[in-house]
Structure 1
Amino acid sequence: MSTATMSRNVRRRWWWFLWGLLTVLALAIAGYFVPPYLVGGTTIPNLDRITPGYYTSLVIHGVPAGLALIVGPWQFVPRLRARFPRLHRVMGRVYLITVVIAALVAVYSAAVTKSGFPVQVAFFVLIVAWLYTAWQAYRTIRRREVQLHRIWMIRNYTLTFAAVTLRLYQLPLLALMNSVDWLPYKDVYTVSTWLALLGNVMVAEFFIIQRTLAPLSRRREKADVAATSVTV
Structure 2
Amino acid sequence: MTSSNTPRWWRRPWIVPLMLVAGAFLAFAVPPYLTFDPAESRLEPPPGNDFYYPLLVAHVLFGTVAMVTACFQVWPAFRARYRRGHRITGRIYVFAGALPAGFVGLYIGWHTAAGPSVRVANLVGSVLWIAVTIIGLRMARRRRFADHRRWMSRSFALSMSIVLSRVINIVATIVLTPQIATTFGGSEVLMKYSATSIGAWLGSLLLLVLADFVLERRKTPKKPPSGVVASDQGRTPSRV
* Distance in 2 (alpha carbons) for counterparts of 1:99 and 1:190: 22
Number of residue pairs the alignment of both structures matches: 214
How far apart are residue 214 of structure 1 and its match? Answer: 1.4
Q: Which residue of 2 aligns with 1:141?
A: 140
Range that drifts further, 123-132 or 23-32: 23-32
Instruction: Find the residue that maps to 1:226 and give its secondary structure.
Output: coil
Do 1:36 and 1:42's aligned partners in 2 also have CA atoms closer than 8 Å? no
Mapping for residues 51-66 of structure 1, pairs under 5 Å: 51-52=48-49, 53-66=51-64
Q: Name the one with the larger helix percent.
A: 1
Matched, 1:204 2:211: yes
* Distance in 2 (alpha carbons) for counterparts of 1:119 and 1:171: 15
Instruction: Find the residue that maps to 2:89 and give its secondary structure.
Output: helix
Instruction: Name the amino acid aligned to 1:79.
Output: A
* Distance in 1 (alpha carbons) for counterparts of 2:17 and 2:99: 25
Q: Which residue of 2 aligns with 1:195?
A: 202
How far apart are residue 21 of structure 1 and its match? Answer: 2.2
Matched, 1:214 2:220: yes
RMSD: 2.5
Q: Which residue of 2 aligns with 1:22?
A: 18
Instruction: Name the amino acid aligned to 1:75.
Output: Q
Q: Which residue of 2 aligns with 1:124?
A: 123
**Deviation digits for residues 54-75 of structure 1, max 9, x if unmatched?**
1111101110101111111111
Q: Which structure 2 residue ranges, 5 or more long, are not aligned?
A: 1-8, 185-190, 236-240
Instruction: Name the amino acid aligned to 1:208.
Output: L
* Distance in 2 (alpha carbons) for counterparts of 1:137 and 1:88: 14
Q: Which residue of 1 aligns with 2:80?
A: 82
Instruction: Find the residue that maps to 1:93 and give its secondary structure.
Output: helix
Do 1:166 and 1:192's aligned partners in 2 also have CA atoms closer than 8 Å? yes
Do 2:118 and 2:197's aligned partners in 1 also have CA atoms closer than 8 Å? yes
Q: Which residue of 2 aligns with 1:42?
A: 39
Do 2:44 and 2:113's aligned partners in 1 also have CA atoms closer than 8 Å? no
* Distance in 2 (alpha carbons) for counterparts of 1:229 and 1:134: 35
Segments ≥4 residues shifted beyond 6 Å: none
Range that drifts further, 17-26 or 189-198: 17-26
Q: Structure 2-normalised TM-score?
A: 0.80
Q: Structure 1-normalised TM-score?
A: 0.83
Q: Which residue of 2 aligns with 1:5?
A: none
Q: Which structure 1 residue ranges, 5 or more long, are not aligned?
A: 1-11
Report sequence identity in percent: 25
How far apart are residue 148 of structure 1 and its match? Answer: 0.9
